[in-house]
Amino acid sequence: MPRPTAPIRVYHHPLSGHAHRVRLFLSLLALPFEAIEIDITKGEQKRPEFLSLNAFGEVPVIQDGGVTIADSNAILTYLAILYDESGRWLPRDAVGAAQVQRWLSVAAGPLVNGPGDARVNVLFGRPQNTRCGEIATALFKRMDEHLAAESYLAGAHATIADVALYTYTAHAPEGGVSLQPYAQLRAWLRRIEALPNFIGMVRSKALA
């Protein structure tokens, strides 16, 4: 298994689920990393020195030796291809890779637009948007049905699809979205939390 020559630098914020999915995957792969906090509540992500790492002005970003990668799903893909030669976390065959990518698209779409945005509204004291709740309900119902037949999102074992979907699903109650109706979804969360080297994300003050 290849190893980085120095700890991978991860620019993150402790309440960013996008950044947490990267820290989680680094931990699951048992790769050394150094977390550098960017205070997105103070606009540090829009300063020139950070924009030179990610012109979109968002965490997460990683630096691995001379390589800089932004975007959580791009980072998961990079880490899986470079550091997991077994192809377990990101299958190398066309169908297996497509099945994972299908869920990475969900992680960048309805997961963010539904439960993700509902949580951000609570965290930042913004008015709640009913559309977020509707998107979350439709998504979690679909995931729950899917997980009745499969242990993990893209098949019989965990892949980066599960890593990408975990955080904003687990933290949906912080946005007022209950997980109680979804028994299969909750069982899937517990399976991920039982993986060796799992690390969670801090709960937001909204529910502390």
Ligand X SMILES: N[C@@H](CCC(=O)N[C@@H](CS)C(=O)NCC(=O)O)C(=O)O
CA distance 46 to 150: 41
CB 115 within 8 A of CB 168: yes
Site for ligand X in 102-121 (CB under 6 A): 108
Q: How far is the CB of 57 from ligand X (least distance, A)?
A: 5
Q: How far is the CB of 44 from ligand X (least distance, A)?
A: 9
Residue type, 64: D
Q: Pick from 33, 58, 119, 188 the residue near ligand X by CB under 6 A.
A: 58
Q: How far is the CB of 35 from ligand X (least distance, A)?
A: 14
Label each residue of 106-157 as H, E or C: HHHCHHHHHHHHHHHHHHCCCCCCHHHHHHHHHHHHHHHHHHHHCCECCECC
Q: Pick from 10, 73, 147, 189 the residue near ligand X by CB under 6 A.
A: 73
Q: Which is nearer to ligand X, 17 or 110 (CB)?
A: 17
Site of interaction with ligand X (CB under 6 A):
16-18, 40, 45, 57-60, 71-73, 108
